[in-house]
Structure 1
Amino acid sequence: MDEAIQVDPLVDLGQHIAGALGDAVVEQKVTFGELTLTVDRESIVAVATFLRDDPKCRFVSFVDVCGADYPERDERFDVVYHFMSPYLNQRVRVKLSTDDVTPVPSITGVFRGADWFERETYDLYGVLFSGHNDLRRILTDYGFDGHPLRKDFPVSGFVQVRYDEERKRVVYEPVQLMQEFRTFDYLSPWEGTDYVLPGDEKAKQ
């Protein structure tokens, strides 16, 4: 007698969610033992509400919101949400895409804990969230120029901050790189260099 075919519970869960939400779910797949749902941007609030309230899901624990930048795409940003269900002992990843001018509906009305995570995604990527009641920077300074996790943001940034002894205050200045900091030997610190780095004097003796 043939053994019963075992269905992956994550595949079953993905099918249940997609069947219930219809066009709101653009794609569902299980990769490396994790369920990922790609959803319609405007449906994210409905998706988050369903994941929290549906008795077969009960993803009542909101984990985080983060971003990813693909500058070659028209909708360059992925906004990625992670939820956990202690009842199912499962996690689910939810993704949607947007650009730097089209806002994503805030899920703070569903999960209050999304507040600071949405602010962080705005701060670091420039993703806008409609319906968020306090969308402002959270990690960078309020006068910060740009969004530092975008792929086209310069590694050196645009300004540098230092304390001015004469003025007795912090001052902001345009970044100025000396020529020696523009030349790289591409060696790792473990490979060693022909010159002595500050603090390595004893190691080179």
Structure 2
Amino acid sequence: MSSPAPAIHAPKGEVAAIKKALGKDLLGVEEAHGEIAIHVKTDRLVEAMTQLRDACAYQQLMEIAGVDWPDRDPRFEVVYMLLSLTKNHRIRVHVATNEDVPVPSVTDIWPVAGWLEREVFDMYGVLFAGNSDLRRILTDYGFVGHPQRKDFPLTGFTELRYSEEEKRVKYEPVQLPQDFRSFDFMSPWEGADYVLPGDEKGASK
């Protein structure tokens, strides 16, 4: 019999320590299932992250993710996952923004943020002020749109194919032509109720 997975617990007094360290830069704290989510002012992100690293001992930036809320204003959230090696604990830091409001870059605190911010920019179109190399990183050259936005079409806008006639790779608008088809959706185990060629051989026996 396998033993249950160990429960996740936030260090004792951690929420109070975070509130004290961030002060007025903190918009709210949520704690559930041993996880702590922090919401901070977007324009004070760098100061808040510095405090979390130096005063609260969250030394490593593990990941940056984007979230799209099309019906909300501001539409986007940028979520930072921080790890404390000394406490063996992780927290999430949330900031809200729109596509025309840049988020301060944290590359001066964690250089690894350069590539992570480029991913969020590529997928969601969120800008990062202070990132000196904010280019697409996952999509191709000349890609149009941001594929992780909820309103981005699943088929995309362009398709890539090799043209045997022109002997080169071509970009073309997506076309989804499909002839009308009639489906009966009958289970193959139930058997068809129409006569197929050759059925008369079995009926004559």
Contact 1:63 1:84 in 2 (8 A): yes
Q: Contact conserved, 1:120 with 1:138, CA < 8 A, in 2?
A: yes
Letter of the 1:167 counterpart: E
Tell me which amino acid in the other structure corresponds to 1:35: I
Give me the TM-score of the superposition, normalised by structure 2. 0.81
Per-residue deviation, 1:68? 0.5
Is 2:33 aligned against 1:32?
yes
Distance 1:25 1:178, change over 3 A: same
Q: Output the CA distance in 1 between the equivalents of 2:38 and 2:50.
A: 14
SS in 1 for 2:82: strand
2:54 is aligned with what amino acid? D
Q: Which residue in 2 is equivalent to 1:141? A: 140
The one-letter code of the counterpart of 2:116 is F
Alpha carbons 2:105, 2:130 under 8 Å: kept:
yes
- Identity level (%): 46
Which has the greater radius of gyration? 2
Question: Is the Cα contact below 8 Å between 1:11 and 1:35 reproduced in 2?
Answer: no
Q: What is the CA-CA distance between 1:179 and the residue it aligns to?
A: 2.5
Name the structure 1 match of 2:17. 16
Q: Partner letter of residue 38 of structure 1?
A: H
Distance 1:20 1:140 in 2: 39
| Structure-1 separation of matches of 2:15 and 2:122 | 32
Write out per-residue CA displacement over residues 37-73 of structure 1, whole angstroms, 9 at most, x where no aligned residue: 001001111111111111xx21111101110000101
**Contact kept in structure 2, 1:119 and 1:137, CA below 8 Å:** yes
Q: Distance in 2 between matches of 1:176 and 1:121?
A: 28
What residue ranges of structure 2 are gaps of 5+ in the alignment? 1-8, 190-205
| Pairs aligned (count) | 178
Query: 2 CA distance for matches of 1:45 and 1:150?
Result: 26
Alpha-carbon distance, 1:11 to partner: 6.5
CA root-mean-square deviation: 2.2
Does the CA contact (< 8 Å) of 1:11 and 1:29 recur in 2? no
The unaligned stretches of length 5 or more in structure 1 are 1-7, 195-205
Written as runs of structure 1 = structure 2, the 5 A alignment for 1:1-205 is 9-10=10-11, 12-54=13-55, 57-179=56-178
